[in-house]
């Protein structure tokens, strides 16, 4: 029998302390996100909705992996739908797309962008977040925005969404969103993405609001600190619970959509969890527990296991291309939009 050594015990205690600290910080992140929730007013200018609700239902039903038909949603003020963003609503990582926009405007250099892309690639391949990667990425991101104005980064977020994100929205997920909206239900984004970026996405898609990571700002200038922490895992659940209390949602009637097993706290707190384009762990859990599974990816099933790695390599290539393009364009005037 192998007895654990001092290093084993120290490592285990370190992981336990990190998890406890992480849950405590995520509670703070969830509260900060809910306190800074951005609810959009009805009638605000949005993108074009799907033309036909029957087309939306057909898209959703076609992607179902269980025998559940796309049942029309019923108007109920106690019902809301909560959508993750990355790979659930939008193909790829929104933070990478934002980073490419920041690089284009000289916020940071090639090595910074490639490092961020590699961290995202590791997460997509392994399905697990590394605490050191998370902390390092957070520190760099905050350093990039420190001293920048809210207006400046909001304008940049609008540019990134309009030029690089809207064409990456999964049509099937957009159809689900529209079905909830057509039923008069609120639809919220719940994401680790900065709330300023989430707000723009929500506005363009005509959603009810956004919960995201909140950066501290004073007099319209970012301080380089977060309110709470990056919103993910348990933090999303805390944010939703706080929002539900404020809006009068009955979580047993609500819906949550995600692609990642890391969003289990959010998925398990509602009465109607749905796995969209799920990773292997989430697909397995959803299948074993009778959850709806919707896969809107068009690749063949035989290639799906390799897809996260392929997308990751593509993201790295795109990251490098974005910085090289910004370098070649500097000092030579406008050369068009380029690839984004």
- 78-329, superfamily in CATH? HAD superfamily/HAD-like (3.40.50.1000)
Domain ranges of the chain: 78-329
- Residue 291: what pLDDT? 96
* Other Cβ atoms closer than 10 A to 71: 10
Looking at every residue in the chain, the average pLDDT score rounds to 74
**Distance from C-alpha of 319 to C-alpha of 117, rounded to nearest angstrom:** 7
Q: Which ranges of the chain does DSSP label H, i.e. alpha helix?
A: 6-35, 53-63, 94-104, 110-126, 131-145, 150-160, 171-182, 195-205, 234-247, 264-267, 280-288, 307-329
**Is it the case that residue 42 has pLDDT exceeding 70?**
no
pLDDT in tens, 267-310: 999 999 999 999 999 999 999 999 999 999 863 343 344 334 43
With 60 as the cut, is the pLDDT of residue 6 above it?
Answer: no
| Catalytic machinery residues | 84, 86
Rg (CA), the chain: 20
> Can you give the pLDDT at residue 155?
93
pTM to 2 decimal places: 0.73
CB 257 within 8 A of CB 191: no
322: which 2 tokens? 């974005």
Place of tokens 């999303």: 236
Q: Does the pLDDT of residue 116 top 60, yes or no?
A: no
Q: Within 13 A of 210's CA, how many CA atoms are on the CB side?
A: 22
Overall average pLDDT of the 59-65 stretch? 56
């Amino acid at each position: 029998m192998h007895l654990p050594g001092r290093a084993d015990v120290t490592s285990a205690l370190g992981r336990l302390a990190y998890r406890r600290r992480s849950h405590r910080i995520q509670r703070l992140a969830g509260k900060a996100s809910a306190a800074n929730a951005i609810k959009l007013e009805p009638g605000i200018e949005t993108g074009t909705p799907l033309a036909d609700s029957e087309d939306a239902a057909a898209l959703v039903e076609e992607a179902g992996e269980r025998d559940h038909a796309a049942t029309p949603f019923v108007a109920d003020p106690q019902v809301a739908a909560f959508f993750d963003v990355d790979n659930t609503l939008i193909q790829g990582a929104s933070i990478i797309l934002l980073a490419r926009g920041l690089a284009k405007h000289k916020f940071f250099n090639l090595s910074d962008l490639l490092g961020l892309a590699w961290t995202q690639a590791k997460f997509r391949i392994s399905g697990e977040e590394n605490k050191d990667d998370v902390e390092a990425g957070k520190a760099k991101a905050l350093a990039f925005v420190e001293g920048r104005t809210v207006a400046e980064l909001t304008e940049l977020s609008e540019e990134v969404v309009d030029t690089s994100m809207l064409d990456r929205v999964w049509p099937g997920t957009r159809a689900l969103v529209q079905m909830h909206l057509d039923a008069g239900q609120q639809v919220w984004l719940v994401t680790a993405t900065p709330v300023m970026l989430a707000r723009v996405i929500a506005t363009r898609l005509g959603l009810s609001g956004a919960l995201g990571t909140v950066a501290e700002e004073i007099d319209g200038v970012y301080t380089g600190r977060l309110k709470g922490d990056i919103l993910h895992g348990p933090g999303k659940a805390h944010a939703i619970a706080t929002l539900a209390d404020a809006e009068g949602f009955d979580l047993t009637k609500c819906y949550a959509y995600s692609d990642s097993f890391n969003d289990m706290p959010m998925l398990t707190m509602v009465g109607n969890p749905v796995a969209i384009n799920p990773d292997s762990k989430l697909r397995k859990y959803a299948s074993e527990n009778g959850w709806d599974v919707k896969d809107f990816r068009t690749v063949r099933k035989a290639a799906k296991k390799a897809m996260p790695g392929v997308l990751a390599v593509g993201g790295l290539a795109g990251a490098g291309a974005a910085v090289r393009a910004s370098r070649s364009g500097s000092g030579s005037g406008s050369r068009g939009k380029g690839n984004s």
